[in-house]
Structure 1
Amino acid sequence: MSPGELDAAGIEGTALRRSYLRCRALHARFGRTYFLATRLLRPEQRPAVHALYGFARWVDDIVDEPGGEDPAPRLDRVADRVAADLHATHSTHAVLAALVDTVRRYGIDHRLFTDFLTSMRMDLTVTEYPSDRELAGYIRGSAEVIGLQLLPVLGTVVADDVAAEHAAALGAAFQLTNFLRDVGQDLDRGRIYLPMDELATFGVDRELLRWCRRTGRTEPRLRRAVAHFIARNRAVYRRALPGIPMLAPVARPCVTTAAVLYQGILSEIEAADFDVVSRRAVVPRRRRLAVVVPTLAHSIALRMTAAR
């Protein structure tokens, strides 16, 4: 994050600026698709997006990469610290300082972070979801709330409650794409995020998934199941995308780009013959740039218009 972005956002104080920089580093390293899209926002908006993503990634790492420490009590301590610091509207924590500052600036609902931490706790004990109904509860806290957290940062041209439904749906769509992209990695952690009853419809169970992961082969039954989930995922994107015109004009290129790039992951899975066990689908850098670069000029023009 350039000092200009922090200056543009009016972020002062060495410790607070350092916290935003740490969140930006987490975003750049682990959220390459959305990080690239964030470059299309106004400079003063970017630090807030980095703070929200950095916090989410930091908590996710506590759950997925505990480093030998029991993650449950650590997550409890984080939840207590988040609640206390949000109430105080100030934090001295290396990551939470930026989050609390962003929440205060944009008036983000504290309950969204409670819901997020609830879903993160589920990852400590829940290894699979019997049906889409149970999975939807997890997605509410792990993904839909992210879209809702971002809404005040991005701005809207309609009432927030009108845009909220679409923002939540887009967060869910991104999460579903992540589930498909990360089937192999999640299986290594003992988790399956695709509804078990729908997998069973195609003759897929945990044993078959493990066999595919172990052998690096995508069994035809799994191909058919993945194709089904891709179709469902695209339907969620169709529900979400009408919300983009509801955003402030300067935010639309960023969210449009993120949606295009994430849907590109689905296309990459299809191009790999639905292999989600031996490879992790990514949109090649040249294709990502081909989406972002033409949009950049339009985004700059929108910013100049808004400034005038």
Structure 2
Amino acid sequence: MPFNRAALVAEAHESIRRGSKSFAAASRLFDRETRERVWLLYAWCRACDDIADEQDHGGMSTPGKLDPESRLATIRTLTELAMAGEATGSPAFDALGQLMRETPITPAMVEDVLAGFALDAAEWRPRSETDMLRYCYHVAGAVGVMMAAVMGVPADDEDTLDRACDLGIAFQLANIVRDVWEDDANGRCYLPVEWLVEADIPPGEITKPHYRHALVPQVARACAMAREYEASARVGAAKLAFRQRWAVLSAAGIYGGIAREVERLGAHAWDHRARVSMPQKLRLIAGAFFEAKREPVPAPIPRPSRRELAGLSSSRT
């Protein structure tokens, strides 16, 4: 039997509560309709992540017998059923179908996100800075575009969608610098190979103690890029309704705080997982309230932009 909307929202709320304290905190600032839609989008993204990585809300679960390509096929099949308006048997995927009935999310937006899972399934790694940003675009920037659609931004408002994408890219850059050690343990590295070559860090040696100080400047480069994309996103937030703007600016501050903490700690950034404490989150949320009342500080859209990254990805498929 298909899930009704109330059941989908309840399942999605539980998913975001378990999976992301930062997003859960920021989502409380939205009006009820937007908040519920944000939860529904999060639930689909979280379920895709968990299938791709054989996890349960980011935590390890019992590994299955499916190879990465088969897991990707599962994600695609369930997503396509949801987009077609069919019941999938999974509340997280049915949540996407519900969203597509309520918001201007398009199949192309969904496909851009799925392309990120395809990159991971192929064990793709960035060689250049542009490669890294292309990856950030698919796994997070494209989600930012969907989030904007959830907030009612029309598909033809290119500037606002560009800046929503920029916020997702900033978030993913924060994830990359925070998770260097964790990713390495899983055989992954999302810092560009060219950066590591410049720093004389051999392949597979990124977390060796004697290379830690050489790694710090490369991580600082990614943090500087994250600030540029975050600044652009803050301009785009000004076009949203007040409560939406407040929530987006709060999330920007919280995730930006992760990158800033990594940069501040330097060579000690990976002694423990960098976090933003609850008192810090509350201060950032309060600061975002007042920022939401002011005109934004002008900032350009960084290059490459959403449309440039999307075009680059299309040319490589």
Q: Normalising TM by the smaller chain, what interval? A: 0.7 to 0.9
Find out whether 1:69 has 2:65 as its counterpart: yes
Cα deviations across residues 52-105 of structure 1 (Å, max 9, x unaligned)?
111111111112226233142132022122113212365542211222101210
Q: What letter matches 1:52 in structure 2? A: L
Given that residues 218 and 277 in structure 1 are in contact (C-alpha distance below 8 angstroms), is that contact kept between their aligned partners in structure 2?
A: no
Displacement of 1:17 in angstroms is 2.5
* 1:105 aligned to which of 102, 105, 109: 102
Q: What letter matches 1:234 in structure 2? A: R
Displacement of 1:297 in angstroms is 9.8
Deviates more, 1:144-153 or 1:86-95: 86-95
Unaligned ranges ≥5, structure 1: 1-12, 300-308
Pairing 1:281-300 to 2, within 5 Å after superposition = 281-293=274-286
Given that residues 8 and 91 in structure 2 are in contact (C-alpha distance below 8 angstroms), is that contact kept between their aligned partners in structure 1?
A: yes
Cα deviations across residues 22-70 of structure 1 (Å, max 9, x unaligned)?
2222212222212211111001211110111111111111122262331
Given that residues 84 and 97 in structure 2 are in contact (C-alpha distance below 8 angstroms), is that contact kept between their aligned partners in structure 1?
A: no
Given that residues 184 and 276 in structure 1 are in contact (C-alpha distance below 8 angstroms), is that contact kept between their aligned partners in structure 2?
A: no
* 1:51 aligned to which of 25, 40, 53: 40
Report how many aligned residue pairs link the two structures.
283
- Decide which structure has greater helix share: 1
Corresponding position of 1:40: 29
Corresponding position of 2:119: 122
Displacement of 1:14 in angstroms is 5.9
Given that residues 3 and 91 in structure 2 are in contact (C-alpha distance below 8 angstroms), is that contact kept between their aligned partners in structure 1?
A: no
Q: Secondary structure at the match of 2:9?
A: helix
Deviates more, 1:65-74 or 1:138-147: 65-74
Corresponding position of 1:232: 225
Cα deviations across residues 238-266 of structure 1 (Å, max 9, x unaligned)?
23221111222231100011111111112
- What TM-score do the two structures reach when normalised by structure 2? 0.81
Q: Judging changes above 3 Å, is the alpha-carbon distance between structure 1 residues 89 and 145 closer, same or farther for their aligned structure 2 residues?
A: farther
Unaligned ranges ≥5, structure 2: 56-62, 293-317
Find out whether 1:30 has 2:19 as its counterpart: yes
* 2:93 aligned to which of 93, 96, 120: 96
Q: Judging changes above 3 Å, is the alpha-carbon distance between structure 1 residues 32 and 218 closer, same or farther for their aligned structure 2 residues?
A: farther
Given that residues 81 and 87 in structure 2 are in contact (C-alpha distance below 8 angstroms), is that contact kept between their aligned partners in structure 1?
A: no
CA RMSD of aligned residues (A): 2.5
Q: Secondary structure at the match of 1:240?
A: helix
Corresponding position of 2:271: 278
Displacement of 1:232 in angstroms is 2.0
Given that residues 89 and 104 in structure 1 are in contact (C-alpha distance below 8 angstroms), is that contact kept between their aligned partners in structure 2?
A: no
Given that residues 157 and 247 in structure 1 are in contact (C-alpha distance below 8 angstroms), is that contact kept between their aligned partners in structure 2?
A: no
Q: Judging changes above 3 Å, is the alpha-carbon distance between structure 1 residues 224 and 133 closer, same or farther for their aligned structure 2 residues?
A: closer
Corresponding position of 2:128: 131
